[in-house]
Amino acid sequence: MRNLESFKVPKLTCLLERFMGDEWTARVNEYTNDTPNKDFHFQRQVDTFTLHVTVFAYVKSDSPLCRVVVTGVTERMVREETKEIVCA
DSSP-assigned letters across all residues of the chain? --SBS-TT-HHHHHHHHTT-STT-EEEEEEE-SSS-EEEEEEEEEETTEEEEEEEEEEB-TT-SS-----------------------
- pLDDT for the residue 72: 92
pLDDT at 34 exceeding the cut of 90: no
Give mean pLDDT, residues 16-21.
93
What's this model's pTM, rounded to 2 decimal places? 0.76
Is the pLDDT confidence value at 32 over 90?
A: no
**Overall average pLDDT of the 59-80 stretch:** 89
Residue 48: predicted pLDDT: 94
Phi, psi for 50 (deg, rounded to 5): -110, 130
Q: What angle do CA 75, 78, 84 make, to 5 degrees?
A: 165
Q: Domain locations in the chain?
A: 10-58
Average pLDDT for residues 11-15, to the nearest whole number?
96
